Amino acid sequence: HCICQKAQKRIKQSKTGQCPKGPKDGFDALIQEGSKHFGSNYEISEHCYKLAIEAKPNNALAYYNTGLAQLNSGRTKVAIKTFQRALEINPRYAEAYFGLGSALYDGGGGSLSDASRALTTSVSLNPR
């Protein structure tokens, strides 16, 4: 009976884009849950990452992951702002520069030179 109720709750959450975890579960659990849904349900993934941001508002990883979920769901303009916030927190975050460059290149309102600059910065910070 209990397992069935948990399964029904997860199905309902997946239909509404709700993260199965909540703020009381903690930052790491929210990041893990968002990553678990990444690729299969970007809406749930983004919601989990936003809850992680609420738990730790100055964590660049949470913003970066949120930006990736937004970018992969086709919301490039909002993803750009989210990647920029990650870079405000950590100006040396190579992956966030890569995400920003990708979003700008994908038509998020920036120029190709802006995209190129972000991608070049990403490579210079992390040349491997």
CA-based radius of gyration for the chain: 16
DSSP notation for 46-87:
HHHHHHHHHH-TT-HHHHHHHHHHHHHTT-HHHHHHHHHHHH
pLDDT in tens, 55-107: 999 999 999 999 999 999 999 999 999 999 999 999 999 999 999 999 999 87
Of residues 43, 47, 50, 122, the one with CA closest to residue 75: 43
| pTM metric for this prediction | 0.84
pLDDT average, residue stretch 7-17? 48
Q: Could you say which DSSP state residue 120 is in? A: H
pLDDT for 109: 72
State the burial class of residue 125 (Cβ atoms within 10 Å of its Cβ: 0-12, 13-18, 19+).
middle
Q: Contact, 49 vs 69, CB < 8 A?
A: yes
Report the C-alpha gap between 110 and 124 in whole angstroms: 21
pLDDT in tens, 21-62: 888 889 999 999 999 999 999 999 999 999 999 999 999 999
